[in-house]
Amino acid sequence: MELKTKILQRLRNAEAFLSGQQLSEEFHVSRTAIWKVMEQLKDEGYQIEAVRNKGYRLVNSPDVLSRAEIKSLLPPGWAQAEVVCYDETDSTNLRAKAAGEADGKPGTLFVAERQADGRGRRGRRWDSPGGESIYMSLLLRPKIAPDRASMLTLVMGLSVAQGIQDETGIACGMKWPNDVILAGKKVCGILTEMSTEIDYINYVVIGVGINVNQTDFPEEIADVATSLSLATGKTYRRSHLIAAVMRRFEENQAAFLLTEDLKGLKDAYNAILVNRDQDVKILEPGHSYEAHALEINDFGELLVTLPGGEEKAVRAGELSIRGGDTYV
Ligand code: BTN
């Protein structure tokens, strides 16, 4: 771990002042090296109080998405993982896929302040202005059968909803399969892409866009999109949210890998499924039909009853509300 990350972690967890001497002994570097890192952190916007004979104390952190900031907050399971941050990139999914094609390490997290070519599901754009929201993509190389991989999208969706709740106290819902919903509107979308062979996964990229402090949306999505800030009037620190989501993902992914299905997670997912017991329209490529949504099964399929009473498990598709004028 980089010295800056380690120092940031220590400052954050310290209950009192940390002396330069103590830090230099702990990390086996000179006091000048410690001082230099403190200066760098101050330049990046961290408010660090330095008191003679006492040492350093972190007073306030900026809402920056730097590698050191994110790494210093990630749960232990991601300690060895790479974090790659961009001020601007085309799309973090494209960056993660390029790493997947090369020798990118599984667990690498790509994060951008803004995206010039943010992508949504089904070829849509994902509006990605800078400084307010989260755009991140996780590269994984799971050793599971390719037909199990799409469930990882639901694992991430659930982790986002739970991470938001842990960090902010805001209760979100899930719109099947993987939109996170707040006050009837979409607050997070997930785009999973993968490269597989018949019986082998080369890589999976899970791209997550969370609307955090954004208060303006383009007209065409304004009635279906919301952000944490719009819903509560508060602002949130993005790095802490990323860490909270990754903490949940670490746990949930372990539960998923145990059975290679959603047996251990479906109750938590169904408990926040906003489509439960709703009449919905299922949109599949080329056609759509009406049904009554029940809940997801072990494989993340949506169980529905058709108008004739027959039960069906829907594998993939999108939902819209029958005759409704709200998003969910
Ligand atoms: C959706 O249409 O609901 C999925 C949106 C996914 C957006 C995220 S933002 C980070 C990552 N990079 C992209 O270009 N898209 C995903």
Res 322: pLDDT: 46
> Is residue 175 within 8 Å of residue 181, measured between CB atoms?
yes
**Any atom of ligand 1 within 6 Å of the Cβ of 327:** no
Using one digit for the tens of pLDDT, what is the confidence trace for 144-160? 999 999 999 999 999 99
Res 326: pLDDT: 55
> Is residue 272 within 8 Å of residue 162, measured between CB atoms?
no
**Any atom of ligand 1 within 6 Å of the Cβ of 191:** yes
Q: Which of 21, 164, 37 is nearest to 174 (CA)?
A: 164
Q: Which residues contact 189 (CB under 8 A, 6 or more apart)?
A: 120, 121, 126, 178, 179, 180, 208, 209
Res 285: pLDDT: 77
> Is residue 213 within 8 Å of residue 229, measured between CB atoms?
yes
Q: What percent of the chain has pLDDT over 70?
A: 97
Using one digit for the tens of pLDDT, what is the confidence trace for 33-61? 999 999 999 999 999 999 999 999 999 99
The rounded Å distance from CA 136 to ligand 1 centre is: 8
**Any atom of ligand 1 within 6 Å of the Cβ of 190:** yes
Atom of ligand 1 lying closest to residue 121 CA: 2
Q: Residue 325 — very low, low, confident or very high, per pLDDT cuts 50/70/90?
A: very low
CA pair distance 110, 136, nearest whole angstrom:
5
**Any atom of ligand 1 within 6 Å of the Cβ of 253:** no
> Is residue 135 within 8 Å of residue 92, measured between CB atoms?
yes
What phi-psi label fits residue 277: left (phi over 0), alpha (psi between -120 and 50 degrees) or beta? left
Using one digit for the tens of pLDDT, what is the confidence trace for 267-281? 999 999 999 999 998
The distance in angstroms from the start CA to the end CA of the chain is: 43
From start to end of 143-286, where are the E strands?
Answer: 173-175, 179-182, 185-197, 200-210, 279-284
CA pair distance 177, 186, nearest whole angstrom:
13
Q: Residue 324 — very low, low, confident or very high, per pLDDT cuts 50/70/90?
A: very low
Res 78: pLDDT: 82
Mean pLDDT rounded to a whole number for the chain: 93
Res 198: pLDDT: 87
Q: Residue 166 above 90 pLDDT?
A: yes
Q: Residue 79 above 80 pLDDT?
A: no
The rounded Å distance from CA 73 to ligand 1 centre is: 23
pTM for the full model? 0.93
Res 65: pLDDT: 94
DSSP-derived secondary structure for 258-284: HHTSSTTTHHHHHHTBTTTT-EEEEEE
Question: Could you give the C-alpha distances from 9 to 23, 68, 86, 89, in angstroms and in order?
Answer: 12, 9, 21, 27
3-state secondary structure of 37: helix
**Which of 9-18, 105-114, 312-321 is the least confident region?**
312-321
Mean pLDDT of 319-327: 56
Instruction: Tell how far CA 10 is from the center of its chain.
Output: 25
Q: Residue 201 above 60 pLDDT?
A: yes
**Any atom of ligand 1 within 6 Å of the Cβ of 214:** no
Res 252: pLDDT: 97
Res 321: pLDDT: 57
Write out the two tokens for 75: 């749960």
